[in-house]
Amino acid sequence: MDKTRPIIILKKKGGHGGHHGGAWKVAYADFVTAMMALFIVLWLLNSSKQVQEAVGGYFKDPTGTAKKVGSNMVGTGENFTLKRDDMSKLKDQLQQAMKQMTDFEKLKSHIEMTVTTEGLRIELSESASGTFFDSGRAKLSSDGSEMLVTLAQELGKLPNKLSIEGHTDSTPYSPSATYGNWELSSDRANTARRVMQANGIRSDQVTQVRGFADQRLRKPTAPLDPANRRISLIVQYIVKDRDVEDAKPTQNPETLKAPSSPETPAPKPSPAIPESPQKR
Domains of the chain: residue spans and CATH: 26-80 (no CATH), 86-239+247-253 (3.30.1330.60)
pLDDT band for 235, please (50, 70, 90 cuts). very high
Average pLDDT, integer, range 117-136: 91
Per-residue pLDDT reduced to its tens digit, 25-84: 888 888 999 999 898 888 888 877 777 777 777 777 665 544 434 433 334 344 445 666
Portion of the chain with pLDDT greater than 90, in percent: 39
Residue 53 contacts by C-beta under 8 Å, 6 or more apart in sequence? 69, 70, 80
- pLDDT at 91 > cutoff 70: yes
pLDDT surpassing 50 at residue 257: no
Report the mean per-residue pLDDT for the chain: 78
The verdict on pTM exceeding 0.75 is: no
Pair 196, 163: CB distance under 8 Å: no
Report whether pLDDT(254) > 50.
no
pLDDT at 251 over 50: no
Cβ(180)–Cβ(166) under 8 Å? Answer: no
Residue 16 scores a pLDDT above 70: no
Q: Over 90: is that where the pLDDT of 208 sits?
A: yes
- Of the ranges 94-98, 160-164, 234-238, which is most confident? 160-164
**Beta strands at 162-167 and 206-211: parallel, antiparallel or unpaired:** parallel
What pLDDT does 260 receive? 46
- Residue 143 in contact with residue 103, Cβ under 8 Å? yes
Confidence class of residue 177 from pLDDT cuts 50, 70 and 90?
A: confident
Average pLDDT (194-213) is: 94
Residue of 122 and 6 predicted with greater confidence:
122
